[in-house]
Chain A
């Protein structure tokens, strides 16, 4: 149960690569998180701030469309609207390809893994129109730069993000005693964000909060809003007058403002229940569905001691022997399976046909849906399941095997020799059955497919 470079790449990184060395040590792993973000520079993804311009354009176009009287003018505007939307969809598929390329080319796989982890922890989806394609811009702006500082900064960044406020219905929630409620009878609170912040994002469902905490927090949150032109906006006219008592502490009271909300989120970020919940979730995600209680306790303790300093928390996870059990455990979710397979194959950007989004969808996105993961579209704010059994169903496994057998040859020029490839993909982890399959397969494609379809490759 000690550090091994191979295991570090498989369990805490994007998998083994034939082109890049695995991390040498725990400090190598951690250093990779704080250096310059080379992958983000090489394979850019638009920041949400910029993405917003598209939404501003669309708002203006729709407004003109409503006002236009002539049929022809309406038709032209409609064409422009469709063009903006299509462009967003095409760009989103390039960003998906860039996400894959980051997984393939990174020397700091842990950074990409953490980006997936936090994007899932703070699941937020666009629910209609062009907002639907803004998932990766949200992650790029609200999450990726905040993964190594204090959890409070990450929490504040996502909780005040327009996409989250839209997804969990916060933007239109207003205090029942707010100035605007007097003008708009029938409008009022919406508990959705308040509940999920406590249940999913911080304390966990076993946390020490009650329905009245949720209600009070919904009142405290009233005012968190946005408009596409300016992004996040605190609307004092939406706020519930007076202070709120949440989790036994009182917040605000005098003039409605954002600062009591931020004060609450900072307090919440260092709540012992939050420490426990985040620690456990990290261990479950990176190590095992049935986590070693010692390991969880150790990570939670470091979390509390450091006030939720995330780099310290990751360090606690990586320094503990419980994280280095040599047996591969967790099953990779479909996106991680596909991306780590592309890394083992060292897929090059020109083969991803960035200008042909239809191909990307057929080769990568649709197959992932068959494996049970619709890219960037989980069913609910709890994101994707961690349990291995949720993924390895007959239909999920059949789709994985099918992809492994047929798609790699479309993604690389010449398929490698399966006997070498089993080493590229699995290193010294390759069991005899996989080594045998790699040399006994009838064709290269089947040999590659069998290596990728092996339980060993699908676990980490």
Chain B
């Protein structure tokens, strides 16, 4: 009987376990549903407003160097990408990926956010995915998960200490920071469960935490072991390596943040630091996913807005509008900078100060979701990104 693993008995057993899991869906450690699709999607929110014009430098534009003289250092190597754009030296570690077609960018894109140039509203709209603030509840990545049958709590992961509104919403996802530790005696866990049960916010978080803790105790993977070793890994590497671990399993969508892009002053230093973290993050993902999974992975790095075309008076740039979407992974059509270039002459700028967005950032992201999770256009334009028109942009996927 024990060996009778026919399809029928297997289904029955699953159904039985499924029942007990339904009584306490969050407490289960076993994932029942196989992942609903195969391609992996990593969404990185670059908070603070990444200066697209410094990251993917339009050196071929005649107005660029005069607008940015103070930000371009004499001894910077020029990392030519395609004769028009050059890469910021801080992203040099990603150059091999660019050459392999695994890293690229879209220039001059933006969300529909305009005018006020607030980080906080800008990020809210980027994560909501709607046309206006307050149009819709939750984040676009959460609504996208809601469109796919067979999504479980372990399909989507929001990692880190900070909020990830892009993954918040009606569809349950796992929220976690990899180094968290909690050990409770069975009795304390039971008593805590009873107290938490009276408060839905606490109860949901508690159940998830206990489930994730249980996993940690079962066995340590290589990456976990490294994280617990003598030297603590930097937060972003720790998160990327945990993300890879989950994506090798049933997780299909992971979101997290990288901060430190608000370079009002001393930008050459600050941006280099932020780009180093981004490079390390992407390289950690690639290394720890391993070639087969990396080959079906898409990484999207997006920010709330770009920055002013002209450098400001303090060696930095102020809040702008048009920016860039960076993409990487074995499943993307990298090695190119996409997007219609609007030019930098004053008449071409938005409000005579910002890079003019020539496409809706969301259209590129929607294209990726279409390819990755098989969402149809009606769902993308109606539910995931309400008010979006997907016409136009080239697909980022192979």
Contact = CB atoms under 8 A, between A and B. Distances in A.
Interface of A: 168-169, 172-174, 176, 181, 186-192, 195, 199, 205, 210-211, 331, 369-370, 372, 379-380, 382, 385, 387-390, 392-399, 401-402, 405, 431, 433-434, 436-437, 440-442, 446, 449-450, 453-456, 458-459
B265 interface: yes
A382 B118 CA distance: 10
Contacts of B312: 173, 188-191
5 contacts: A205-B116, A205-B121, A394-B176, A433-B194, A459-B199
A398 B265 contact: no
A379 B47 contact: yes
Interface in B195-210: 195-199, 201-202, 205-206, 208-209
A401 B191 contact: no
A395 B177 contact: yes
Contact of B313 (A172, A387, A453): A172
A303 to B, nearest CB: 23
Contacts of B182: 398-399, 401-402
Given A173-B313, A188-B312, A389-B201, A450 B161 contact: no
Contact of B195 (A211, A387, A455): A455
A419 to B, nearest CB: 14
A381 B183 CA distance: 35
A450 B116 contact: no
Interface in B128-184: 161-163, 168, 174-177, 179-184
Q: Categorize the interface residue count of chain B.
A: 35 or more
Given A195-B117, A434-B195, A186 B69 contact: yes
B71 to A, nearest CB: 10
B54 interface: no
Contacts of A402: 180-183
B56 to A, nearest CB: 23
Interface stretch (B246-254, B276-284, B314-322): B314-322
A455 B48 contact: no
Which of the listed residues A331, A372, A397 has the most CB atoms from chain B within 10 Å of its own CB? A397
A370 B316 contact: no
A403 to B, nearest CB: 10
B6 interface: no
B212 interface: yes
B209 to A, nearest CB: 4
B101 interface: no
Contact of B318 (A186, A192, A331, A385): A192
B182 to A, nearest CB: 4
A450 B181 contact: no
Nearest to A454: B195
B268 interface: no
Nearest to A175: B313
A226 to B, nearest CB: 15
B202 A398 contact: no
A246 to B, nearest CB: 16
Nearest to A222: B313
B187 A440 contact: yes
A389 to B, nearest CB: 7
B202 A395 contact: no
Given A402-B180, A402-B181, A436-B194, 14 more contacts: A169-B265, A186-B69, A191-B264, A195-B319, A205-B121, A380-B119, A393-B175, A395-B177, A395-B180, A402-B182, A402-B183, A455-B196, A455-B201, A456-B195
B89 interface: no
A441 B318 contact: no
Given A191-B319, A380-B262, A394-B212, A450 B188 contact: yes
Interface-central residue, B195, B197, B212, by most chain A CB under 10 Å? B195
Contacts of B209: 394-395, 397-398, 401
B19 to A, nearest CB: 24
B120 interface: yes
Contact of B163 (A169, A385, A401): A385
B115 A453 contact: no
Contacts of B198: 431, 433, 455
Nearest to B168: A389
Nearest to B178: A395
Contacts of A387: 163
Interface in B46-70: 47-48, 69-70
A210 B313 contact: no
A184 B313 CA distance: 10
Contact of A433 (B184, B195, B259, B264): B195
B82 interface: no
Interface string B357-386: 000000000000000000000000000000
Contacts of B202: 392, 397, 455, 458
A238 to B, nearest CB: 10
B131 to A, nearest CB: 18
